[in-house]
Amino acid sequence: KAGVTQTPRYLIKTRGQQVTLSCSPISGHRSVSWYQQTPGQGLQFLFEYFSETQRNKGNFPGRFSGRQFSNSRSEMNVSTLELGDSALYLCASSSGTGSEQFFGPGTRLTVL
């Protein structure tokens, strides 16, 4: 089985721009979660989607949004980028509640 894939792997944007990151889960997995990893704040949960529905959302401003498609692929969007949005964005997929979450390699976003 192919693992979780994330595209792009690296992104450089400037303040005020918007960005869309993509995550393709393991085949058959219906849950996709997103996390932000920074040196200062560590790993923080952004949101989780299951069967195209957002089930949970972390404490992030409304500039961070996401969606999930019928094939379980998920995208997250960050609008009006700020310098503090520079981070590694990780997505994880799982088959259901309580199951192991498999992480993708991450997208490294740099905001200049």
Partner 1 sequence: AQTVTQSQPEMSVQEAETVTLSCTYDTSESDYYLFWYKQPPSRQMILVIRQEAYKQQNATENRFSVNFQKAAKSFSLKISDSQLGDAAMYFCAHYLGNAGNMLTFGGGTRLMVKP
Residues near partner 1 (CB under 8 A): 31, 33, 35, 42-45, 48, 50, 55-56, 58, 88, 90, 92, 94, 97-98, 100-103, 105-106
Minimum CB separation from partner 1 for residue 98, in Å?
A: 5
Residue nearer to partner 1 on the CB measure, 14 or 38: 38
Query: Could you give the CA distance from residue 110 to residue 4 in angstroms, rounded to a whole number?
Result: 22
| 42 class by beta-carbon count within 10 Å (0-12 exposed, 13-18 middle, 19+ buried) | exposed
Non-local (6+) Cβ contacts of 71 within 8 A are: none
Residue nearer to partner 1 on the CB measure, 80 or 99: 99
